[in-house]
Every structure is written in structure tokens, then in C-alpha cells.
Amino acid sequence: MERSREVPEAIKRQVQQTEMICRSFLFGLGFVVKDTARDPSYLDNHLLSYTSQDYLQSIVALPLLVQEGIHNVCRRELRFVLEMSIKLCSVQQQQYAAAIATKVSTLKATLDSTNISMQKQLNLHLLATSEIPAFHQEVGRLYGEVSGYVHLTQGQILERMALVDQGHTSGNESAADIEVLNKVIARGLACSLVFVLHSVPDYVAGDLLVQRNGDSLSWFFAGSKFISLVDEHFDYKHERQARIKEIKRKRWASVWF
């Protein structure tokens, strides 16, 4: 829908932030796809070779939905991306070398489940063992937040009533509304990336996050605690040893969500 008034600069900045978050996710996903595809069997046995198209559609849609004030649909797309990432990780960890057709037929229960408790059975070895419970909690919180917009509920109706009464109809959200939504998008996509990185060989995460001089990758998701924990997993690499204290300091100074 077209806005009937000039869009305030504060809203434009928040929409630009949404776009930047989504571009960063697509950069990371694109790298993972290309690096994993160096394996000749990738197209035959990795579910990401197909689900990457679903990621692309959802992530490209998010900034458009935010811009047009279609925020609940944005949350539903985010739920889909998070759920897809959990299932992708689960399927690949259960039968990594199997053909995709075999995975789809034999792991139907995993793919059809609406229960994300399967995340607790995943091998999240790129995270420090002590941090895995906090990651599970974050995923559970996020899933709860965005699942509230999938089905019509009393809570959703009451929230919509309050927003409409305040003049916050679709297309008339404030910059603060979008800022809050951007934080949810950032958290959701960071968690999704953690699952994606656990669905591929370890070297892929290392190739993405560790630069040739040992530095951590400078990108939006360096601000995520959980992506930074994955980055920390690779501190053993030779190219980091001479500057490990500096690398650690910079890494954790950049974390804000």
C-alpha cells in the first residue's frame, strides 16, 4: 500500500536498518551455500540446496513488509525462517550423507512437527557447552514472541485494539515500533544462522567468520552474542594466536544483542 504522507526520516532510517540486517543475513547464507557446495555431493544430499530459495523469499520480503507497515506478517515470516533453520539442522545432523529424497521421506515426522523442542536434541558444538542452555532459552523466547501472530488469539486482538486506538494502523507505525521489530528480526536471524552453521561442516563457519589475518568478520551479526560464541570456537586457529587478546577484546566489545 502507498503511504499518503511524506515518510519521516526516523522511519526511513529504521527501514534502512531492516534492509541492512537482511542483507547481512543473505551475505552469510550465500557464503554458506557457496562454501558447502564445494562438496560435489551438496546438490544431492544437502537440504539447503532447496531451502535456500525459501530463505531468499522470506528475507527479501521482510524489509518490504516493514516498510509497508505489515508487521504481523513480518513476524510470521520470521517464525517460518527460525523453524526452517531448526528443521534444516535436525535433518542434516540425522542423515547428513543421505539423498535429499531419502531425508524427506524418512524424516517426515521432523519436517511436519510444529514443536521446536527438537532443538534440544541438536549437536550445537560450535557454542560453548555452558552457553547452550542460554541459546535454547533465547530461541524459545523468540519463537513464543513471533508465534503469537500465527493464530488469532485474544491477546493478539487486545494488542491490535490498543494499537488502533493509539492511531497505529498499518502504514502509520512509528519509528519506535519499527525499532522494536528490528531487534526481534536481528535476534531471530542470528539464531537462525547458528542453526544453519550447525547444518554444514565446521570449516564453513570458520571460513565465514575468520579472516585471513585472524580478525573476526566485520558484519552486522558480529553484534550477536551467539554468533560471537561461534566465532570464539575458532580461536584455536593459527592465524589468531599472535593477536588472540586483541581479537577477543574486539569481539566482545562489539556484542550488543
| 206, three cell numbers | 570458520
Question: Which SS3 state, helix, strand or coil, does residue 150 take?
Answer: coil
| CA triple 132-137-139, angle to 5 deg | 95
Closest CA to 225 of 130, 94, 95: 130
| Distance from chain centroid for Cα 105 | 26
Angstrom CA distances, 250 to 108, 131, 161, 210, stand at: 43, 20, 45, 13
Task: End-to-end CA distance of the chain: give it in Å, rounded.
Answer: 32
CB-based contact 120:136 (threshold 8 Å): yes
Taking only the tens of pLDDT, the chain with its 257 residues reads 444 568 899 999 999 999 999 999 999 999 999 999 999 999 999 999 999 999 999 999 999 999 998 999 999 999 999 999 999 999 999 999 999 999 999 999 999 998 999 999 999 999 999 999 999 999 999 999 998 877 556 666 677 677 677 776 666 678 999 999 999 999 999 999 999 999 999 999 999 999 999 999 999 999 999 999 999 999 999 999 999 999 999 999 999 99
Please provide the DSSP assignment of 179-223 as one string.
Answer: HHHHHHHHHHHHHHHHHHHTSS-HHHHHHHHB-TTSPBP-SGGGG
pTM of the predicted model over 0.85: yes
